Amino acid sequence: MKFQKKIGNLKKNEGSTGRGWEIVYSGFVLILLCFFIMLSSFSSIEQAKIMRFTKSFVNAVSILPGGLKAEGGVAIVPNSAEMVDSESPLAQIYADLKGLAERLNHNNDIAVGYSSKGLVMRLSDHALFDAGVAGISPKAIPLLQKIGAIIAQTAYEVRVEGHTDDLPIKTAQYPSNWELSTARAVNVLRYFIETYRIPSERLSAEGFGEYQPMVPNDSLLHRTQNRRVEIVFLKPDKTGRPAEAGP
């Protein structure tokens, strides 16, 4: 009799171990509930930031067997080291610059985005200059006027960066791409200072030649993309100084 009771207890224990999935399932449902509550609390944050959180969450709990590999094609959000809240001053400048590009029908010549440096407005070289020269083209004046007005209305420090492709240049005025890229950046900076009386201490210019390409210099299209001027609204750190500034 005792032997039969033991067998009966074992069968009961075996049956109870098969119900563990209910606990796991309940925990998973609670995690999903917390996830959607957090999403609803992000209503005032930049949409791109929500997408990044979503991708991180999916990767952490492995909802799908493939993790992030389940998302194919072009990335929804370009890689950025910093996402900016929609109510921040940089977000307003971003909206102004994007609107400017659309109004002037310069969508193919202008790109605006965030980087570790801050807010970056990228201008193709042919939107500002003629080939192989650093003098600002007359057709570029309406564009620079609008950009200068936006800079003048902000308190951010701004850096103008010149970039070229890897095709060598050697003239009496520009012995290398270093000189050409630097001259272009300085001419854009000087235009802002002289036209809008922007304080000189807020502006700086740098030339990088061909040494910071966006894409490999292996085709005509890629070289065109690498020839550019970037206007960077430098992101301040917690002390209010530009993040790249020294002590």
The values of phi and psi at residue 237, to 5°, are -90, -170
Q: First CA to last CA across the chain, in angstroms?
A: 85
Distance CA 83, CA 128 (A): 29
- Domain definitions of the chain by residue range: 2-70, 89-234
CATH topology (fold) of 89-234: 60s Ribosomal Protein L30; Chain: A; (3.30.1330)
- CA 126 from chain centre, in angstroms, equals 23
Place of tokens 């791409």: 177
Distance CA 148, CA 152 (A): 6
Amino acid at 220: L
SS3 content of the chain, % helix, strand, coil (to 5): 50, 15, 40
Q: What is the pLDDT along the chain (247 residues), one digit of tens a residue?
A: 554 555 555 555 555 555 677 777 787 788 887 777 776 665 545 555 555 555 555 555 444 444 444 333 333 334 443 445 556 788 899 999 988 888 877 667 899 999 988 999 999 999 999 989 999 999 999 999 999 999 999 999 999 999 999 999 989 999 999 999 999 999 999 999 999 999 999 999 999 999 999 999 999 999 999 999 999 999 886 445 555 554 4
β-pairing verdict for 158-163 and 228-234: antiparallel
